[in-house]
Each structure stands twice: as structure tokens, then as C-alpha cells.
């Protein structure tokens, strides 16, 4: 496995940690593999640890090159205790994370031959805010305003083959109008910062570019979508995922959607590998992983075409 941190911008605010599998699978046989870019959640203020390496390793174990994107977030360093003074990155507000994901896609496609990556099978797996980010890429990979901030890149290099979305933030404005006391107690202090990361302000006058409301951004030619959510989610509204799935179906976008009955927000793999607490384990919801892998395999080429 080849592991390194790739700087995606001059400032080093965005990095791509690679977990590339050895291409020499046998004597004089190199295996061309698909790649999964993992986008952790964290409300665009931090990166959720349990949605990074545990997820990357699970997909690597299934034969995928993987890479974890650490896109710009509002907190320059993760708070270690409540009340700690925070250092804010004012340049990290949305769509800065989307620019970073476009840079990551372009880098991967530019280095596909070097690392035996199947450039026709590059996927993004995201959770919560990271799922919003992945879906925004699926909807806006060819947006001229965004591409102007990634100069010299062919728009097609930014387009994912498909996206896997776990408990996505579907409409950012939900976070602007959300009553703080309706969120789980441990994350209530983050809400004003999440609003700032999304809208640049948290004074109750937030405005969101409607392009980044996932339902408004649905287009018939966007990549296919796999999505899962739990009905007990207290952070993002599960009904929004249902509405998003309906919009995808109405537009003719290939979509697979699973709504599991139990489980809180932020379950990641839904089993001990990534569980922060007992509630993060749910054998039923954990089925999303094999379901997603089966969904990904629908793009597999003939076996004879999978070797170099």
C-alpha cells in the first residue's frame, strides 16, 4: 500500500491522504483498480475521525484504492475541550471545500496511470456535510464559476462516476433555521460555527446559494447516486433525504436509497470499527456497506479489461 499526504493547494489547507493498493497483484500482472475518495463529515467546521480511515480501510479491503480528503474547515485545529479558544479559518467557508474536492478529482485523474487507477471508476463516499459535498460535486462538476478557481482543469476530470451519500445534509438552510436545543446536546455549541462555515455569518440573516441545495441542484445528466439514512437522525431531517431521492427519480437519475428505521446521526460504518459509542452500532444499518459495494460493482468491466 502506498500512503502519503498530497497537498492540493499552495497553502496546504487541503490534503489528500492516499491508501493506494499495490498494483502488482501477481507475477507480471498489474491490476487496474477503481478509487474511492472519502469525504468525512463534521459540519464544515472539523473532520469527523470515525468517517475517515475506518471507512477508507473497509473499501480498501474490498479492492479499492482509497483516499481521504481533508478539505478546508472552519476550525484550524480540533477543540480538545469545551470553552477552548478557537482559531478560525475565514477562507474555509463554502464553497471552498467543493473547490478542494474538484482539485482532488483532477489530481487523481492526472495520476491515474502512475498508480494503476481506473480513471473511469472514481467515486466519492461522503457522510453528513461530506455527503453534501459529494452530492454538490455530482451536481456542479462543470460549473464555470467553480472551475474558474481550478484553472487548467478539464471539467470532465472533476466528474465522479458515482457518489455514495451517508445521512447527507440536503438543504444547508436547515442549519440556519434550526433551533439549537433540537440538536443533540454534545453538538449544540457547534451550530453557530456550522452556520458560519456554510453562510459566512451566523446572525440569523443567512443566505444560501440555491445551487447548493441538493434538491434544487438535481440534473438529469448527473452521476448515479447511492444514499442511506436513518429515520431517527436528530441532526439532519431524514425526510429531506426522501425528498432528494424523489427528485433524483423524477429527473431520471439512477438512484438507490435505503432508509433504516433506527440509529442516530454519524454512525459511519455502524459497527465497532468506527463506533464512538454503543448507539453507533446497528447491525441492520451496517448493511449499507455491502449494499454500497454491490452498487459499485455494477460498473465493473469484463475481467480481461481489469488488468494492464
d(CA 57, CA 40): 14
Which candidate, 23, 191, 217, places its Cα nearest to that of 139?
A: 217
Q: 3: which 3 cell numbers?
A: 500512503
Q: Does any domain span residue 139?
A: yes
Q: How confident is the model at residue 178 (pLDDT cuts 50, 70, 90)?
A: low
Question: Is residue 123 a contact partner of residue 108, using CB atoms and an 8 Å limit?
Answer: no
In a domain, residue 273? The reply is: yes
- Which CA distances in Å does 148 have to 89, 100, 109, 218, 259? 22, 13, 18, 22, 37
Contact 128, 265 (CB under 8 A): yes
Residue 96 lies in a domain: no
106: in domain = yes
> Is residue 87 a part of any domain in this protein?
no
In a domain? residue 89: no
* Domains held by the chain: number: 1
What sign has the CA pseudo-torsion 88, 94, 99, 104? positive
Q: What is the CATH number of the domain that holds 137?
A: 3.40.50.1820
**Confidence band (pLDDT; 50, 70, 90) for 181?**
confident
- CA torsion 171-177-180-181 (nearest 10°) is -100
Which residues, other chains included, contact 302 with Cβ-Cβ below 8 Å and sequence gap of 6+? none
C-alpha to C-alpha distance for 167 and 229, rounded to whole angstroms? 5
Q: Using CB atoms within 10 A of its CB, is residue 275 exposed (0-12), middle (13-18) or buried (19+)?
A: middle
pLDDT of 268 reads 98
Please report which confidence band the pLDDT of residue 211 belongs to, taking 50, 70 and 90 as the band edges: confident
CA 4 to chain CA mean position, Å: 20
Give the mean model confidence (pLDDT) for residues 246-250.
Answer: 99
CA distance 225 to 126: 11
Q: Is residue 94 part of a domain?
A: no
From the centroid of its chain, how far is CA 2? 22
State the cell numbers at 166: 451517508
Mean pLDDT of 59-87: 89
- Considering the chain, what is the average pLDDT of its residues? 92
Q: pLDDT tens, 104-128?
A: 999 999 999 999 999 999 999 999 9
- Reported as a single tens digit per residue, the pLDDT across 287-308 is 999 999 999 999 987 644 444 4
User: Quick one: pLDDT at residue 305?
Assistant: 47
175 within a domain of the structure (yes/no): yes
In terms of phi and psi (left: phi > 0; alpha: psi -120 to 50; beta: otherwise), the region of 275 is beta
Q: Which residue range forms the structural domain that includes residue 221?
A: 2-82+102-305
E-assigned strand segments in the chain: 2-7, 15-20, 24-26, 29-30, 33-39, 65-70, 117-127, 162-166, 224-230, 255-260
d(CA 184, CA 72): 25
Amino acid at each position: 500500500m502506498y500512503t502519503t499526504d498530497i497537498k492540493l493547494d499552495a497553502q496546504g489547507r487541503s490534503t489528500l491522504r492516499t491508501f493506494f493498493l499495490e498494483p502488482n497483484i501477481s507475477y507480471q500482472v498489474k491490476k487496474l483498480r477503481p478509487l474511492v475518495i472519502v469525504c468525512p463529515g463534521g459540519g464544515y467546521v472539523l473532520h469527523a475521525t470515525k468517517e475517515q480511515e475506518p471507512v477508507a480501510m473497509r473499501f480498501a479491503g474490498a479492492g479499492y484504492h482509497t483516499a481521504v480528503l481533508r478539505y478546508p474547515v472552519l476550525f484550524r485545529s480540533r477543540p480538545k475541550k469545551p470553552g477552548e479558544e478557537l482559531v478560525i479559518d475565514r477562507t474555509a467557508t463554502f464553497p471552498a471545500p467543493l473547490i478542494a474536492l474538484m482539485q482532488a478529482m483532477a489530481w487523481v485523474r492526472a495520476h491515474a496511470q502512475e498508480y494503476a487507477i481506473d480513471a473511469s471508476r472514481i467515486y466519492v463516499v461522503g457522510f453528513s456535510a461530506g455527503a453534501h459535498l459529494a452530492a454538490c460535486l455530482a451536481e456542479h462538476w462543470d460549473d464555470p464559476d467553480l472551475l474558474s478557481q481550478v484553472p487548467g482543469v478539464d471539467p470532465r476530470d472533476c466528474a465522479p462516476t458515482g457518489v455514495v451519500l451517508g445521512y447527507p445534509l440536503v438543504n444547508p438552510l436547515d442549519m440556519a433555521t434550526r433551533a439549537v436545543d433540537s440538536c443533540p446536546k454534545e453538538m449544540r455549541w457547534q451550530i453557530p460555527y456550522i452556520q458560519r462555515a456554510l453562510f459566512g455569518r451566523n446572525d440569523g440573516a443567512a443566505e444560501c446559494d440555491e445551487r447548493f441545495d441538493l434538491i434544487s441542484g438535481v440534473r438529469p445528466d448527473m452521476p448515479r447516486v447511492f444514499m442511506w439514512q436513518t429515520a431517527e437522525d436528530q441532526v439532519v431531517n431524514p425526510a429531506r433525504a426522501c425528498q432528494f431521492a424523489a427528485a433524483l427519480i423524477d429527473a431520471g437519475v439512477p438512484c438507490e436509497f435505503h432508509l433504516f428505521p433506527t440509529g442516530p446521526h454519524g454512525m459511519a460504518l455502524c459497527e465497532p470499527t468506527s463506533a464512538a459509542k454503543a448507539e453507533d452500532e446497528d447491525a441492520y444499518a451496517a448493511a449499507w456497506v455491502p449494499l454500497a459495494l454491490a452498487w459499485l460493482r455494477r460498473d465493473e468491466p469484463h475481467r480481461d479489461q481489469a488488468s494492464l
